[in-house]
Amino acid sequence: MSHDHHLRELLASSSLGVLATLRSNGRPQLSPVQPTYDRRNDVILISTEDGFAKTHNLRRDPRAALEVTSEDGRAWATAEGVVTLHGPGTAHDDPAVEALVNYYRTAAGEHPDWDEYRQVMVADRRVLIELHIDHIYGDKIV
């Protein structure tokens, strides 16, 4: 297996990471997130509420990086790329809400009540962060 494959496996197995975005002064803004790696599309998906620093920063500058580590902290992977933001949606049938439905299916499977899920996504002004991986690197401490 290639080194990139091992790094993507770590992305897929990690449920906690740190997202780095850029503030207007160029300094990094670090946010703990719960990422989901979509293997089929080779993107990282993160659901968040609108109005946080990360969404503000990404609207201004879509470059971002996500770092994850193994449970024992001895392996890490960093994925860098450009983000597409979806949302917030304003109606149940909004394409941004459908993107969040697809995110949920990728992360957790089927929801017991999709109508309720869509209502919550609109009410909470949820945004889907889609990080398109341009570069991935990492290592393992032996």
- Where exactly are the structural domains of the chain? 3-140
Q: Phi and psi at residue 133, in whole multiples of 5°?
A: -75, 115
Q: Which CATH fold would you assign to the domain 3-140?
A: Pnp Oxidase; Chain A (2.30.110)
Q: How crowded is the C-beta side of 11, counted as CA atoms within 13 Å?
A: 29
pLDDT values of the chain reduced to their tens digit, one per residue, 142 residues:
467 889 999 999 999 999 999 999 999 999 999 999 999 999 999 999 999 999 999 999 999 999 999 999 899 999 999 999 999 999 888 999 999 999 989 888 899 999 999 999 999 999 999 999 999 999 887 6
Q: How crowded is the C-beta side of 50, counted as CA atoms within 13 Å?
A: 15
